[in-house]
Amino acid sequence: MRKILHVDMDAFYASVEQRDNPALRGRPVAVGGDPHGRGVVAAASYEARRFGVRSAIPMSRAVRLCPGLIIVRPDFLKYRAVSQQVFAIFRSVTPLVEPLSLDEAYLDVTTNAWAEPLAVKVARRIKAEICAATSLTASAGVAPNKFLAKIASGWQKPDGLTVIAPARIEAFIRDLPVDALWGVGPKTAARLRAHGIETLADVRARPLDDLRGVVGSLAAWLVDLAHGRDERPVEPNRPSKSSGSECTYAHDLTSMSDVRREVGEMARDAAAWLQRRQIHARTVVLKVRYSDFTTVTRSHSLRLATRDADEIATRALALIDRTEAGRRPVRLLGVSVHNLSDTPESPAAASEPEGRLPFD
């Protein structure tokens, strides 16, 4: 049986800022953009979270929730430097480290450099080494698989350590809400609840065919998770499935020429990423969010993959004609490349259906 850790730094960006500026300690802090523009919260300290301030909400709303909120502009170079310290500790313990972001990762410590048979002791030592190296705290979950370890790491934040041993799995998970399931976002959770499925026990109680009628092909996966089953290994070198960029604008774009200029630049940035990695992409995706927050995605796929900047830009620009950009104000634009391969054509890529990519 595997011994999996999920280690998650506590309020990472905000904690780094509080560490480096004593005047911020014990105060409600949000890292992010301008509340008078379209800034959003990238991270919130635990003092700010008590007021309902959370990452990804508009900074203007955060200020309304917490009038005493201290806003700090992000310094990603600094956060990356701290992240490198943390991941160096992870990789000193095991080569099986799967990063999820700058501040969290899965580790398979079934075999580890410390020859420690108890995963909880590995987790406790990792937390101590992180604190000694960075003066920051991390929360850790210990479990037989990734799904359970992820749940466990969030159980006692901040500075938490939770173990879900095999004998405890049933008692721990049966009454968890459906939101805890991997792949269940707000829309899927709402669909499940509309059918009376509130907890993991409810998922298990439903016939598989009934569940398929609610969530489609996701049903069997959710049943496995609801029983605490997850056979996914920790993947230290998980290949990129896509790449791209997007931008939320301080002022809506109303001119088609402005939209085309922005899309062209993003497309060429995506092509440059492909060039640096010497890989190709079959699919170009355009994302447009209008001023009323309505969001649409459009995609175009070809049998032959490419990394040619002119071709990718031409395909991205052609997708604009399938949107209402130029007729409706645009708040956000994004361009990304998908269906990546090492060669212009691969058997796997050639067998994939063309058309629109799924977006939830």
Name the CA radius of gyration of the chain, rounded: 23
**How far, in Å, CA of 40 to CA of 57, rounded?**
6
Single-letter amino acid, residue 5: L
State both tokens at 244: 């791209």
262 flagged as catalytic: no
8 and 142 Cβ atoms separated by less than 8 Å: no
Single-letter amino acid, residue 124: R
**How far, in Å, CA of 228 to CA of 150, rounded?**
12
225 and 149 Cβ atoms separated by less than 8 Å: no
List 17, 47, 104, 262, catalytic entry: 104
Q: Please name which of 250, 244, 254, 247 lies closest in space to residue 330, comparing C-alpha atoms.
A: 254
Apex 251 CA angle, 249 and 252, nearest 5: 85
Residues known to be catalytic: 104
